[in-house]
């Protein structure tokens, strides 16, 4: 039934996003990019890809930050185009994708104001996908309650924030807690939305979001070691929609060091592999990269099915990874630091 | 014609260019546009090539030019396009160009920065002016002043009894300007953060203001906020900052405000003059740039193209000269030599550039030299597939057959005339129309095919005259050979209205005995059995035309077989194919002519003439019934002849299918035997000389290749497919040619319907109002004729003709698996760039 009616509303956009997907850089492109001597070479090579002349109007010498801005700009233009042509429920789905950027922006701004940075400087660092009207006035707030009442109450993030109001004031620790609480609520809500949508969307998205939830749980646990976060508080931050829920999360809540976290992962075949292949020694990939790699695999698989919204999420995630890759290579090229240039994550 | 029959003979050439002369030589070749360079370093990255720096510098220059162009467009200054084509400048001129562009860009940037600063200043002052004016209104116009209002409102909010406010609270205020669309959110946020303890008043600025950075027109609003205490003040300010509102100082007393307003006004006036001067300066710079910008663009693009080409070349060991490989038509080699000499002279190099023809086993590209007349026809053929190198090209035949088959379907002299005139107009006004750019894709298609349209129109007039059909009416030029007398009950009471159609029969007395000298007798237009008559004629005509065209196609294949020295194909493909076609449909065509000539209404009873279709079917069933007279034989001994023909056609099948694969297998086996003998001789030498080892390897490799090449199963399958395709094709393609009749019938009927349903209404009106109505009806009829009959029907006939050529005709001899010759030509590069 889905395949019968899906294209009425979403056929154009799905076609579009699949077309965009074909423009994602291939392994060959990366091998070429890695050989670049200067950023000018990089620009020249990117010209022969789908990016064509997105840097053509930038005067030399090129900065990595310009490349970053332009990459983001291209992605945002593509996303906004899709968002503008979307109808319900795809439009809501696309909005959900932007919420994670909003959360990041809010946290960035609060942290920035905490460190006495000027708001205009911070705004430039925000991701354009997650900008909202009240964003720039965020420094009015000095407590979570104020933040909620003054700024967030009008944004779609408001329902996620309810759990954080009780925090007393905004310090580093609390900001992290707010971030993770927001993410938890966001992922769970998004998960619910996808489940309600049903069909192939639910199949693909629930898998992607479960992974996202589990990744957050692992990372939160690992990062919490050696901080004053209590185990109870920590357990509250775990998103409860992944594979780890409920047993794995309970085990994670009790974990005291990295080895115990690894022990938890032993019970889950796919995570076990990730933990086994990771390490901090040279030549080994970090756990973070391993997670990214796994995410890329999931997202590429998302394109295997048709007639579902997961492709849009997958495309945004893949594009984000591609931006990270290009920036990584560009940084390595710019700083003449070639030993680590190969640790990008190829997509196709 | 000679060049269109087969593609140009190409030769792979090697060029040795002195490194200092290479640039000038390539530039000359680019102007000539007759060589296709091959990439000699395909595995070198774009940024690792030799001239990548120059390419980059060109890209940078292009960027600057684009920037200038954007600025010129912004100011709507017309650019001068004289259509001249400057030579690619010498490499040292590039530095001058770079310097010029650099200077211009910097100047522009400086001017822009100045203008932006001035505009920002101007914007601020204008905003301040508006604030002063609006707040004046706020403060003065209302009955009790706004301050009271605010105090009142805030007083209530403080939940204190109004009466207890013995003296007014000390209220502070800020005034500023904000984007209009941001007001609702701004207001909400103010209310939330300050818990309702502020009083906001706003008014719209009527005229939109210019944003200094983007130059867009934006709508803004003035606001004034009253509050109490310093804490609120800092919050309000923060919110204002957050919403990008600009705050301005606003004095409290009316007198000060008035004074300030006057000051602002004078400053605005000063600024206006300065701004005007800046704009003038900017305009002057841009006008100067606009004169040259097209020429600059061409120059830079040529330089870039040359360096891109140089990047394809190999550097020799001493790096004194560059080695290039290119495909070039043999007839142009002299021109190329000349160009190279010119280039060498121009660069002042003492050593001449060398052009060397190379032997190669590679398939050369296909290149047809076309002119404006033939190019459209060639394009139609190329759209199906680029011809193989030196294969027979169907384009020269298509020049005549294409418009002719079109006209068979579009046979109407009137419509043809309109089409012809349209084509003629485009051809005559060619020069003017060529200069029109961006006229849209549809126009480009029509204009590109102007000669096709012209010929199609001309041929349609001819077949329209043959059909004696113009807008569904006939001409009676020579006088009809029929006399329809009173015997026919066709006239109504007053002899002017025809009450029924006449049924014409050549047996009756109405036929005078002579034949109308040219085309169809006009009387058929009025007869009731017109369609039965024309159908029979057009159907037979379609078959005749179709079989002749297919036969012609099969015959053309001999030119290919003979040119490529493929005797095997001649005997194992062409011969059975042509026999098969002739035995079946060649015979049918012969019968058609026989029936036309032999039977006539008067001498032999044509009602009892044998039917062609049933005859053909019976021929394959070997049945010869006696029952209805229409299934009698045409001539005595027909049974024997037809049996022989069918047997021959059937024998052609195994001939086509089996002979060639088996001969090929026999040849391949013999070759392998020869090689094996050779190899055993060579292996004796192997031990003695090292050089022979390579030789030996080469032979083994070649034998392996041969083994790979000849696989009997594959050849057999290929042959089977080919045979089935040809045999089924012959039958279905013949049937497919019946579309000539079908479309022609549809066209004639549609045109008649249009006449009777529309135009006749107008003609049958009497009196004065009739003349008015006829004008209206004519309009409708003309629109329908152009829209439906000319455009839609024309398009459909065109597509059917296209199909008949691509499928029915070309499948007989045309492979179309070559690749096109893409010359390195400045003209093409420029055209492509302007298309972007």
Distance from CA of B105 to the nearest CA of A (A): 11
Q: Which residues contact B54 (CB under 8 A, 6 or more apart)?
A: B91, B94, B303, B307
Q: Do B59 and A41 touch (CB under 8 A)?
A: no
Residue of A nearest to B244 (CA): A136
Q: Which residue has the higher pLDDT, B341 or A169?
A: B341
Q: Which residues of B touch A41 (CB under 8 A)?
A: 47
Residue indicated by tokens 């004519």: B778
Task: Please indicate whether, in this complex, the C-beta atoms of B56 and A48 are within 8 angstroms of each other.
Answer: no
The contact set of B with A (CB < 8 A) is 45-48, 52, 56, 59-60, 62-63, 66-67, 182, 185, 188-189, 192-193, 235, 238-239, 241-244
From chain B, the residues in CB contact with A48 under 8 A are 46
Q: Cα–Cα distance between B584 and B642 in angstroms, integer?
A: 9
Q: How distant is the Cα of A86 from the closest Cα of chain B, in angstroms?
A: 24
Query: CB–CB of B241 and A119 under 8 A?
Result: yes
Distance from CA of B239 to the nearest CA of A (A): 5
Name every residue in A having a CB less than 8 A away from some CB of B. Answer: 32, 35-37, 40-41, 44-45, 48, 56-60, 119, 133-140, 146, 149-151, 153-154
CB of B273 within 8 A of CB of B263? no
Q: Enter the DSSP assignment of B473.
A: B
What pLDDT is attached to residue B834? Answer: 54
Contact B243 A151 (CB under 8 A): no
What pLDDT is stored for residue A5 in this prediction?
Answer: 86
User: Of B46, B60, B193, which is closest to A150 when you measure between CB atoms?
Assistant: B193
pLDDT at B160: 43
**Which band of pLDDT confidence, cut at 50, 70 and 90, is reported for residue A168?**
low
Contact A57 B66 (CB under 8 A): yes
Q: Which residue has the tokens 């360096």?
A: B307
CB contact at 8 A, B748 and B469: yes
Blockwise average pLDDT, block size 10, chain B, 836 residues: 77 86 87 87 76 84 87 81 74 85 88 88 86 77 56 52 47 83 83 80 82 80 83 82 81 80 88 88 86 85 88 79 88 88 83 83 87 90 90 92 95 94 93 79 88 95 93 87 64 49 71 82 83 91 95 93 88 92 94 87 70 87 80 83 93 91 88 74 46 42 54 90 92 94 94 87 80 87 92 94 94 89 84 57
ipTM of the complex: 0.76
Task: Find tokens 């850089």 and name the residue.
Answer: A25
Q: Are strands B172-179 and B354-358 parallel, antiparallel or unpaired?
A: unpaired
CA distance A33 to chain B (A): 10
Taking an 8 Å cut-off on Cβ atoms, the answer to whether B45 and A136 are in contact is: no
C-alpha distance from residue A255 to each of A224, B180, B533, B834 (Å): 10, 54, 98, 66
Residue in A closest to B231 by C-alpha: A140
**Residue B127 token pair:** 């905003």
**Looking at residue B708, what is its pLDDT?**
55
Both structure tokens of B198: 């502020």
Contact between chains at A44 and B185 (C-beta distance less than 8 A): no
Mind telling me how many Å the CA of B199 is from chain A's nearest CA? 17
Residues with Cβ within 8 Å of residue A214, at least 6 apart in sequence: A242, A243, A244, A248, A268, A271
The C-alpha of A150 sits at a distance from chain B's nearest C-alpha, in angstroms, of 5
Q: Which residue of A has its CA nearest to B183?
A: A133
Are A139 and B52 in contact (CB < 8 Å)? no
pLDDT at A126 over 50: yes
Chain B: residue whose CA lies nearest to A41: B47
Nearest by CB to A48, which of B46, B52, B242?
Answer: B46
Tell me the nearest-neighbour CA distance from A203 into chain B, angstroms. 39
Predicted confidence at residue A80, as pLDDT, reads 93
Phi, psi of B690 (to 5 degrees): -70, -40
DSSP label at residue A278: B
Residue B330 Ramachandran class (φ > 0 left, ψ -120 to 50 alpha, else beta): alpha
Q: What is the mean pLDDT of residues A96-125?
A: 86
Which residues of chain A neighbour B239 with C-beta distances below 8 Å? 137, 140
Q: How far is B836 from chain A (nearest CA, A)?
A: 13
Residues of A in contact with B67 (CB under 8 A): 57
Nearest CB to B189; choose among A41, A44, A150 = A150
Residue B694 confidence (pLDDT): 40
Crossing angle, helix A64-85 and helix A2-22, to 10 degrees?
160
Kindly report the average pLDDT of chain A as a whole number. Answer: 86
Residues on chain A touching B185 (C-beta within 8 angstroms): 133-134, 154
CA gap B662, B643 in Å, rounded = 29
Q: How many CB pairs under 8 A join A and B?
A: 65
Instruction: Answer yes or no: do A150 and B59 touch at CB < 8 A.
Output: no
- Note whether A134 contacts B189, CB cutoff 8 Å: yes
B238: distance to nearest CA of chain A, Å? 6
What pLDDT is attached to residue A63? 86
In chain A, residues with a C-beta closer than 8 Å to the C-beta of B112 are none
Chain B residues near residue A40 by CB distance under 8 angstroms: 47, 56
Q: How many CB atoms lie within 10 A of CB B666?
A: 10
Identify which of A136, A138, A153 has the shortest CB distance to residue B244.
A136
**What are the DSSP calls for B153-204, one per residue?**
HHHHHTT--GGG--S----EEEEEEEEGGGHHHHHHHHHHHTTT--EEEEEE
Closest Cα in chain B, distance from residue A96 (Å): 22
pLDDT by residue (tens digit) across B504-545? 777 777 777 778 888 888 888 878 788 888 999 999 999 999
A-chain CB neighbours of B188 within 8 Å are: 154
pLDDT cut 70: percent of chain A above it: 98
Best of A58, A143, A150 to disrupt the B interface (most B CBs within 10 Å) is A150
> Could you give the C-alpha distances from A175 to A107, A110, A170, B291, B302, in angstroms and in order?
7, 8, 6, 60, 58
Indicate the SS3 state at residue B205: coil
Q: Which residues of B touch A149 (CB under 8 A)?
A: 192-193
């Amino acid at each position: 039934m889905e395949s019968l009616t899906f294209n009425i509303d979403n056929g154009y956009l799905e076609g579009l996003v699949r077309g965009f997907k074909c423009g994602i850089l291939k392994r060959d492109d990366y091998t070429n990019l890695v050989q670049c001597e200067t950023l000018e070479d990089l620009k020249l090579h990117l010209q022969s890809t789908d990016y064509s002349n997105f840097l053509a109007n930038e005067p030399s010498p090129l900065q990595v930050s310009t490349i970053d801005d332009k990459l983001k700009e291209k992605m945002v233009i593509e996303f906004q185009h899709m968002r503008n042509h979307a109808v319900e429920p795809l439009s809501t789905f696309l909005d959900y994708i932007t919420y994670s950027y909003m959360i990041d922006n809010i946290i960035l701004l609060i942290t920035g104001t905490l460190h006495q940075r000027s708001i205009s400087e911070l705004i430039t660092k925000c991701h354009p996908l997650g900008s909202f009207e009240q964003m720039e006035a965020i420094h009015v707030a000095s407590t979570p309650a104020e933040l909620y009442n003054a700024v967030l109450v009008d944004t779609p993030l408001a329902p996620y924030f309810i759990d954080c109001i009780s925090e007393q004031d905004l310090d580093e620790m609390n900001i992290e807690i707010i971030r993770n609480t927001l993410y938890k609520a966001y992922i769970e809500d998004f998960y619910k939305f996808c489940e309600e949508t049903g069909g192939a969307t639910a199949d693909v998205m629930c898998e992607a979001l479960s992974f996202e939830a589990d990744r957050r749980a692992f990372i939160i646990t690992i990062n919490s070691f050696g901080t004053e976060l209590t185990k109870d508080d920590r357990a509250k931050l775990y998103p409860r929609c992944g594979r780890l829920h409920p047993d794995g999360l309970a085990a994670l809540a009790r974990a005291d060091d990295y080895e115990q976290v690894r022990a938890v992962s032993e019970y889950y075949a796919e995570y076990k592999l990730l933990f086994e292949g990771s390490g901090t020694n040279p030549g080994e990939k970090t756990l973070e990269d391993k997670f990214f790699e796994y995410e890329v695999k999931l997202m590429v698989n998302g394109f295997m099915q048709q007639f579902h919204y997961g492709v849009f999420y997958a495309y945004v995630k893949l594009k984000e990874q591609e931006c990270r890759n290009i920036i990584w290579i560009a940084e390595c090229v710019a700083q003449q630091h070639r030993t680590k240039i190969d640790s990008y994550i190829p997509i196709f | 014609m000679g060049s269109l029959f087969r593609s140009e003979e190409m030769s792979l050439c090697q060029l040795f260019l002195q490194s200092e002369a290479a640039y000038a030589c390539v530039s000359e070749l680019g102007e000539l546009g007759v060589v296709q360079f091959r990439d000699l370093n395909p595995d070198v990255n774009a940024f690792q090539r030799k001239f990548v720096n120059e390419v980059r510098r060109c890209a940078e220059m292009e960027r600057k030019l684009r920037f200038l162009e954007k600025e010129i467009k912004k100011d709507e200054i017309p650019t001068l396009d004289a259509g001249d084509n400057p030579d690619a400048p010498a490499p040292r001129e590039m530095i001058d160009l770079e310097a010029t562009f650099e200077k211009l860009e910097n100047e522009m940037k400086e001017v822009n920065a100045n203008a932006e600063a001035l505009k920002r200043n101007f914007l601020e002052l204008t905003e301040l002016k508006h604030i002063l004016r609006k707040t004046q209104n706020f403060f003065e116009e209302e009955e009790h002043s706004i301050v009271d209002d605010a105090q009142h409102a805030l007083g209530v909010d403080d939940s204190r009894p109004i009466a207890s406010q013995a003296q007014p609270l000390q209220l502070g205020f800020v005034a500023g300007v904000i984007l209009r669309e941001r007001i609702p959110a701004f207001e909400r946020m103010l209310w939330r953060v300050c818990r309702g303890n502020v009083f906001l008043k706003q008014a719209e600025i009527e005229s939109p203001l210019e944003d200094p950075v983007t130059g867009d027109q934006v709508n803004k609003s003035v606001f004034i906020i009253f509050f109490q205490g310093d804490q609120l003040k800092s919050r309000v300010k923060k919110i204002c900052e957050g919403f990008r509102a600009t705050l301005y100082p606003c004095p409290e007393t009316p007198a000060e405000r008035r004074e300030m307003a006057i000051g602002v006004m004078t400053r605005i006036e000063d600024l206006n003059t300065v701004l005007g001067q800046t704009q003038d300066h900017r305009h002057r710079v841009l006008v100067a740039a606009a004169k040259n910008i097209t020429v600059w663009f061409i120059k830079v693009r040529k330089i870039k193209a040359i360096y891109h080409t140089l990047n394809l070349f190999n550097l020799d060991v001493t790096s004194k000269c560059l080695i290039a490989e290119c495909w070039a038509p043999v007839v142009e080699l002299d021109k190329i030599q000349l160009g190279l000499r010119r280039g060498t002279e121009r660069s002042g190099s003492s050593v001449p550039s060398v052009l060397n023809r190379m032997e190669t086993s590679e398939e050369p590209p296909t290149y047809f030299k076309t002119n404006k007349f033939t190019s459209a026809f060639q394009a139609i053929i190329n759209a199906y597939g680029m011809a193989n190198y030196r294969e027979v090209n169907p384009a020269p035949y298509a020049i005549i057959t294409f418009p002719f088959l079109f006209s068979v379907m579009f046979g109407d002299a009137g419509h043809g005339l309109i089409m012809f005139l349209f084509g003629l107009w485009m051809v005559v006004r060619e020069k003017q129309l060529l200069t029109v750019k961006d006229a849209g894709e549809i126009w480009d298609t029509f204009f590109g095919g102007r000669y096709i349209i012209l010929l199609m129109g001309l041929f349609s007039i001819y077949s329209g005259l043959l059909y004696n059909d113009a807008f569904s009416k006939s001409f009676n030029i020579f006088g009809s050979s029929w006399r329809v007398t009173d015997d026919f009950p066709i006239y109504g009471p007053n002899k002017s209205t025809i009450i029924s159609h006449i049924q014409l029969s050549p047996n009756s007395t109405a036929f005078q005995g002579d034949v109308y000298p040219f085309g169809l007798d006009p009387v058929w237009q009025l007869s009731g059995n017109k369609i039965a008559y024309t159908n029979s004629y057009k159907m037979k005509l379609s078959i005749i035309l179709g079989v002749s065209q297919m036969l012609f196609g099969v015959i053309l294949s001999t030119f290919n077989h003979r040119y490529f020295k493929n005797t095997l194909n001649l005997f194992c493909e062409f011969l059975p194919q042509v026999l098969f076609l002739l035995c079946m449909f060649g015979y049918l065509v012969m019968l058609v002519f026989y029936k036309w000539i032999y039977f006539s209404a008067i001498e032999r009873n044509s009602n009892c003439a044998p039917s062609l279709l049933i005859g053909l079917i019976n021929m394959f069933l070997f049945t010869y019934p006696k029952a209805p007279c229409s299934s009698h034989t045409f001539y005595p001994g027909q049974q024997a002849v037809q049996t022989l023909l069918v047997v021959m056609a059937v024998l052609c099948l195994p001939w086509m299918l089996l002979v060639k694969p088996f001969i090929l297998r026999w040849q391949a086996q013999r070759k392998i035997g020869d090689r094996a003998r050779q190899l055993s001789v060579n292996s004796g030498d192997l031990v003695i000389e090292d050089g022979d080892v390579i030789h030996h390897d080469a032979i083994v490799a070649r034998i392996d290749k041969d083994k790979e090449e000849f696989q009997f199963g594959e050849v057999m399958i290929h042959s089977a497919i080919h045979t089935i395709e040809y045999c089924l094709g012959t039958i279905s393609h013949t049937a497919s040619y019946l579309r000539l009749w079908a479309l022609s019938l549809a066209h004639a009927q549609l045109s008649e319907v249009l006449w009777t349903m529309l135009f006749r209404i107008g003609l049958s009106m009497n009196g004065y109002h009739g003349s008015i109505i006829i004008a209206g009806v004519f309009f409708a009829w003309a629109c329908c004729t152009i829209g439906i009959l000319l455009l839609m029907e024309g398009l459909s006939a065109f597509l059917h003709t296209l199909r008949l050529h691509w499928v029915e005709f070309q499948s007989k001899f045309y492979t179309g698996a070559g690749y096109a010759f893409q010359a390195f030509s400045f003209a093409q590069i420029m055209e492509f760039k302007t298309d972007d």
